[in-house]
Copies of this chain bind each other. A is one copy, B any other.
Amino acid sequence: MGNCCERAGNFFGPQNNTYIRVSLPAVCFVWQIAMVILFGVFIRYDEESDEKGWHEFKRSHNITSNIENDFYFRYPSFQDVHVMIFVGFGFLMTFLKRYSFGGVGFNFLIAAFGLQWALLMQGWFHSLDPVTGKITIGIESLINADFCCAGSLIAYGALLGKVSPVQLMIVTLFGVTLFAVEEYIILDLLHCRDAGGSMVIHTFGGYYGLAISWVLYRPNLNLSKRLNGSVYHSDLFAMIGSLFLWMFWPSFNSAITNHGAGQHRTVINTYLSLAACVLTTFAISSMGQKKGKLDMVHIQNASLAAGVAMGTSAEFMITPYGSIIVGFCCGIISTFGYLYVTPFLEKRLKLQDTCGIHNLHAVPGMLGGFVGAIVAAAATEEVYGKEGLVETFGLSGKFENRSMSTQGAYQAAGTCVAIAFGLVGGVCVGFILRFPLWGDPADDFCFDDEAYWELPEDEETIPPVLEYNNHMINKHQDTHESQFSLEES
C-alpha cells in the first residue's frame, strides 16, 4: 500500500510541489541564526530574573520576601497559556482525518519560532531601554510572546491543510511583525485596555487569516474533499485541544491583568461567560440539524467563543451576569456562523476557512472589542473607586484626564485598527505566498499529511499475530489492503 501510494505520487506532477527539503531547513536555519544574533545584541534578563538585579531590586523597593517576585503572580497563568498555545491550538487542529500531524506539528513549529521573534518585536516596541539599547525580559514578556504567536496560529486555522510549512513560517514572520505594530498603536498610542486580546489577538488574527485565505483561494479544492473532514478518533483528539482551551481561558484573559483583584475578577468573568456559552452552543447545534443531533464541530469551537469575546472586558467590572449575557450571545452567534456563515462565505465570497476562524475568532473578537468599549464607557468612580478606576484603565501620566466615554471611544477605535491591520496585512502576505516556490500542495493533495510527513503504515494493516507467529498460513501474508491492490492490478 505504502509503495503503491508512492508510485501513484510520481504519476502526477503537482506532488513535486511539496518538496521542501531545501526550503524548510534553509528558512529554519537562517531564522534561528538570526535569532541567536539578535538575542545576543538585544535581549537581557529584567531586574526580577537577573541574579544581581533582583537583590538590588529587593533592597531598593524594601521587599523582604521573594514571593513578591512577579514570577509568583504570573507563572501559573503563564503555564496555562503555554498549554493553550501548544496543546490547545495544536490539538484543536488535529480534527482532520489525515492532517493531524500537520495540525499539531506545524502549530508546534510556528509557535516555537513565533515566540522568539515576538520577544524581539514586542521588546523593540514596548521595553527597549533608550539608554542601554537593550530589551529586558521577564515572565510577563514570555506571556506576551505566547499571546503574539496566538495571532498567527489563529490565521493558521483558516489555512489548515492548504499551505506548506515554509509558507506558515512566512505567515508567522509577518504575523508577529504586524501584531507588534498594531499592538503598539492600540495599547500605547490609543491607550486601550485589552488584557485578553479580543482586539489585538483574536480580531487581528482572525481577519489576517481570512484575508490570506481569500487571496489563496483554490477553485478546485473539492478535489481534496474526501479528506476535508474528521473521523471518530480525530474528533476526540480535537476535543482534547478544545477542552484545554476552554478550561484555561480564564488564565489567558487574566495572565497579564493587574495583580490582586484584577486577576481575580478576570478569572471569574471568563469562567462564567464560558459556562453560559456551552449551553447555547449545544442548543443551537441541536436546532440546526433536522433530527436534533449535535455536531462536534460546534461543540469543539463555538463553546470557546465566549473566551474570545471576554478578552477585553473580563478585567472590567462587567458584573457576573454581564459576563453570562456575553457568553449566552456568543454561543448563539458562533454556532450560527458554523451552520450558515462559513458555507456562505465559501460559496459567495470564495473564502475557504478550514477551521471556521471567522466564527471563533474574527466575529467574537470584534464583538469583544465593542463590548469592551461599552463597558469602559460605562465605568464610574462609584463602582471602581477612585484608585481602582485609575489602575484598571491605566489613567495616569498623560492619560490622567481622559474621561471614561473618551476611553470607550478609543476602545472602539482600537477594534477598527485591529480589523484594518488584519485585512490589509493579510492581503499583502497572501500575495507573497502566491509565489510558486514555497512548496504548497496541489488542489488535489490538500489536507493530506502524505505531503510533508513520513507516515506510518495504516492502522488496518497491522498483520494479525496469528500469521507471523505460527506461520500456519503462507498464502495470506498480505493484508486486506494488499489483496485489494492485487485485484486492482
Contacts and interface: CB of A to CB of B under 8 A. Distances in A.
A321 interface: yes
Contacts of A11: 469-470
Interface stretch (A110-118, A151-159, A341-349, A421-429): A110-118
Given A50-B265, A450-B465, A321 B36 contact: yes
A340 interface: no
Contacts of A283: 24-25, 28-29, 32
Given A36-B325, A263-B71, A90 B282 contact: no
Copy number in this complex? 3
Given A109-B282, A325-B36, A25 B287 contact: yes
Given A115-B275, A463-B226, A268 B39 contact: no
A292 B487 contact: no
A456 B108 contact: no
Interface stretch (A98-106, A125-133, A363-371): A98-106
Nearest to A112: B278
Nearest to A114: B275
Contact of A388 (B48, B51, B76, B137): B51
Sorting the interface of chain A by its residue count into under 10, 10 to 19, 20 to 34 or 35 or more gives 35 or more
Interface stretch (A177-185, A230-238, A350-358, A395-403): A230-238
A244 interface: yes
The binding surface of chain A is classed by DSSP as helix
B139 A56 contact: no
Contacts of A296: 101, 105, 453-454, 456
Contacts of A484: 464, 476
A460 B460 contact: yes
A319 to B, nearest CB: 8
A75 B280 contact: no
Interface string A13-49: 0000001111011001101110110011001110011
A97 B303 CA distance: 25
A39 B276 CA distance: 12
Closest 5 CB pairs of A and B: A21-B292, A66-B260, A54-B261, A52-B385, A112-B278
9 contacts: A32-B328, A51-B261, A51-B317, A76-B79, A87-B247, A100-B236, A112-B303, A116-B275, A240-B240
